[in-house]
Homo-oligomer: A and B are copies of this chain.
Amino acid sequence: MKKSKDDAELTKQTIVDAAKDLFAAKGYAATSMAEICSAAGCSRGGLYHHFDSKEDLFIFLADQSFTVSWENWDEVAEDSMTATEQLYRYAEYFVDTLQKPLNKAGEEFISRVGPDSEAGQRFLGILHGYMQRFQNLVQTGLDRGEWKGDNAQELAMIILGYYSGLSDSIQMMSKTEGKQLYRKATMLLLEGIQK
Q: What chain B residues lie within 8 Å of A191 (beta carbons)?
A: 148, 192, 194
Interface on chain A toward B: helix, strand, loop, or mixed SS?
helix
Q: Contact check, B185 vs A158: say whether CB atoms are below 8 A apart.
A: yes
Contact with B along A151-171 (1 / 0, CB 8 A): 000110110111111111100
Assuming A107-B104, A158-B188, A188-B189, is B195 touching A145 (CB within 8 A)? yes
Assuming A103-B168, A162-B165, is B184 touching A193 (CB within 8 A)? no
Interface centre among A84, A165, A193 (most CB of B within 10 A): A193
In which size bucket is the chain A interface? 35 or more
Nearest residue in B to A151 (C-beta to C-beta)?
Answer: B184
Tell me if A10 counts as interface (CB < 8 A to partner B): no
Nearest residue in B to A158 (C-beta to C-beta)?
Answer: B185
Task: Report how many copies the assembly holds.
Answer: 2
Tell me if A25 counts as interface (CB < 8 A to partner B): yes
Assuming A194-B84, A194-B148, A195-B146, is B154 touching A184 (CB within 8 A)? yes
Nearest residue in B to A165 (C-beta to C-beta)?
Answer: B165
Which of B155, B163, B195 is the one whose CB lies under 8 Å from A147? B195
Q: What chain B residues lie within 8 Å of A104 (beta carbons)?
A: 27, 104, 107-108
Inter-chain CA distance A83–B107, complex, in Å, is 34
Tell me if A46 counts as interface (CB < 8 A to partner B): no
Inter-chain CA distance A159–B186, complex, in Å, is 12
Q: What chain B residues lie within 8 Å of A163 (beta carbons)?
A: 165
Min C-beta distance of A115 to chain B, whole Å: 10
Inter-chain CA distance A147–B184, complex, in Å, is 15
